[in-house]
Amino acid sequence: MQSTQDIIIKVQEIEPSSRHRTIFETFENLNEGGSLIIHNNHDPKPVYYQMMEIYGEVFSWEYLQQGPESWEIKVTKTSGTPVLMTEEGDLVLNVPELHPSVKHQTIFETFDQLKPGEGMIIHNDHDPMPLYYQLKNMHGDTFSWTYLKNGPDWWDIRIAKENETDGMPEDAVYKNVHNDYVINVPRLAPKDKHPTIFGIFEKLKEGESLIIHNDHDPKPLYYQLLNDHGEIFNWEYLEKGPQWWDIKVSIKEIDNSETIGEITRKDWRKAEVFKKYGIDFCCGGNKTVKQACDENGIDFNLVQKDLQQTTASGSGGYTNYDEWNLDFLADYITNTHHNYIRKNMPEIKTYAAKVNSVHGGRHPELEEIHQIVEQVDKELAEHMEEEENLLFPWVKRILKSKNENAVYDKGGEMTFEQILNKSMEEHQIVGDALDKARKLANNYTLPEDACASYTLLYKMLDEFENDLHTHIHLENNILFPKAAEMEKELI
Ligand SMILES: [Fe+2]
Ligand SMILES: [Fe+2]
């Protein structure tokens, strides 16, 4: 029966998006025993199920008219509802009244609908602490949790959504007032976490930052970024647990006073760019990029752009020699680069002689290339011998003295510094000689009458010089300066 006090909701007259909300709000405002009438042009049964889910069995649902053109249902509140509103405007969820299957869902949905600064109250018959952790997991530090009543029979907790400036807003990625990207990692789906962080990192320009907000220390990410991109970024902890970790990751600004050697030492892949422009990064590693460009008439801006792109491309296979122990690095140089020279030099000498004898008449530069090969062979044989017998063992002695706090033997006739300088002078001589050979060979461009041996000789020389550049880089830019610094601390 419809009574005069009943509120009639003519569903068709309400804007579609507000229909359900209007019904629920009207129902919530009913006193116990009060009714509302739903008037509709079809059976609003879905509303019934939704109300059952949200409120449980606290209402009756009585059909006053059941089609065919209109439907009228009387909804009566039979007992206190689980959702109320306080005078301050906080929604109160009477949790025991909620249907068990929808308890958590209702709380989370209510929380989601709160605007920053708004609150809700959970009224429960036990301490709902697990809910706190669940919310924390889902929303991070975006809410406060205050006990208004803490047992023994009832627990009332006010959950308020923080203002955006106080905590993390809902979005997983946003920009803060400093225009830094903030990535609220727990809010991202596991499969999206790394791609999101890497995607934003790779878009960062010099001097720009992103902030990683996470519920544990994301240190493995640091190593992954380092491996993929080299030491181009700073990793600064703004907060270090126990609940939250905030890390500011910023792209280092390119220091124009940095030498080519230092740049290559920090990120070995940059050597590719220097190679491309014919900039000497090993023997000439003590110059700045600007100096080298000016001296060789190379466009500085182009080189800078390429250096930056090398950083952003992030392909694998990056070896950070700079992190290696010096004794390991010395052995690595011997086993890799010295052995390479010993293995390939005899063959290169044979071909240089042979190609010169066959083609020297038409290509007089081959005579000089042959002489350079002989000279380089002689220089390097002595040079490597000295490194392996004197210099590298010396480096190991320095390292040992430092690590074991033992007495350091400064050696005899020559100081460590002198031996390093001698070695670097020899690098320069060999480097210049090979550079000359490359120029004579027109950057190893083959003439039309080149035979297979000619082709092989140029290929081997090209490769040999590349390997030597890496080799000298490891010594001039990493091993020697680090060992020299270490030695200074001992004397
Ligand atoms: Fe060497
Ligand atoms: Fe060397």
Q: What is the DSSP string of 403-437?
A: HHTPPP---SSS-HHHHHHHHHHHHHHHHHHHHHH
CA of 427 to the centre of ligand 2 (A): 6
The CATH number, out of the four listed (3.40.50.720, 3.10.20.340, 3.30.200.20, 3.30.110.40), of the domain defined by the range 7-77: 3.30.110.40
Ligand nearest to the CA of 423: 2
- Its CATH architecture, for the domain 173-251, is 2-Layer Sandwich (3.30)
Cα(344) to centroid(ligand 2), Å: 17
* 464 has pLDDT over 80: yes
> pTM higher than 0.85 for the full model?
no
Give the number of the ligand closest to the Cα of residue 332: 1
Instruction: Specify whether the CB–CB gap between 161 and 108 falls below 8 A.
Output: no
Q: Angle, nearest 10°, between helix axes 416-440 and 365-386?
A: 160
d(CA 347, ligand 2 centre) in Å: 21
CA of 424 to the centre of ligand 1 (A): 10
Cis peptide before 242 (omega within 30 of 0): yes
Give the model's pLDDT for residue 280. Answer: 83
Average pLDDT over residues 150-169: 71
* Start and end residues for every CATH 3.30.110.40 domain found in the chain: 7-77, 83-161
- Ligand 2: centre distance to CA 260 (Å): 18
Phi (first) and psi of residue 253, to 5 degrees: -80, 140
Q: What is the pLDDT of residues 178-228, one digit of tens each?
A: 778 889 898 888 888 888 898 899 888 777 899 999 988 888 788 778 777
Q: Strand, coil or helix: what is 83? A: strand
Q: What is the number of the ligand closest to the CA of 339?
A: 1
Ligand 2: centre distance to CA 410 (Å): 21
How high is the pLDDT of residue 254? 67
Please state the rounded mean pLDDT for residues 271-291: 83
- CA 286 – ligand 1 centroid, Å: 18
Q: Which pLDDT does position 169 carry in this prediction? A: 44
What's the average model confidence in pLDDT over 102-111?
Answer: 80
CA 213 to ligand 2 centroid distance, Å: 46
Q: What average pLDDT does the chain have? A: 84
At residue 312, the pLDDT reads 44
Q: Which of 54-68, 98-112, 342-356 has the highest mean pLDDT?
A: 342-356
Cα–Cα separations (whole angstroms), residue 50 to 21, 56, 101: 11, 9, 12
Which numeric CATH code is attached to 83-161?
3.30.110.40
Ligand 2 centroid to Cα of residue 486, in Å, is: 19
The DSSP call for residue 477 is I
In this prediction, residues 113-125 reach a mean pLDDT of 83
For the stretch 384-422, pLDDT in tens is: 999 999 999 999 999 999 999 888 888 778 899 999 999
Query: Cα(261) to centroid of ligand 2, in Å?
Result: 15
CA angle 358, 363, 365 (to 5 degrees): 110
pLDDT at residue 89 greater than cutoff 80: no
Residue 438 — very low, low, confident or very high, per pLDDT cuts 50/70/90?
A: very high
Cβ atoms 120, 92 nearer than 8 A: yes
CA of 249 relative to ligand 1 center, distance in Å: 37
d(CA 410, ligand 1 centre) in Å: 22
Q: Can you give the pLDDT at residue 315?
A: 40
For residue 206, the SS3 value is: coil
Cα 439 to chain centroid, rounded: 42
Of residues 461, 447, 471, the one with CA closest to residue 347: 461
Quickly state the pLDDT bin for 99 (edges 50, 70, 90). confident
Q: Which ligand lies nearest the alpha carbon of 430?
A: 2
Task: Give the residue, 358 or 284, on which the prediction is more confident.
Answer: 358
**What is the structure's pLDDT at 317?**
45
For 76-113, b/e burial (b = at least 16 CB within 10 A) is bbeeebbbeeeeeebbbbbbebbeeebbbebbeebbee
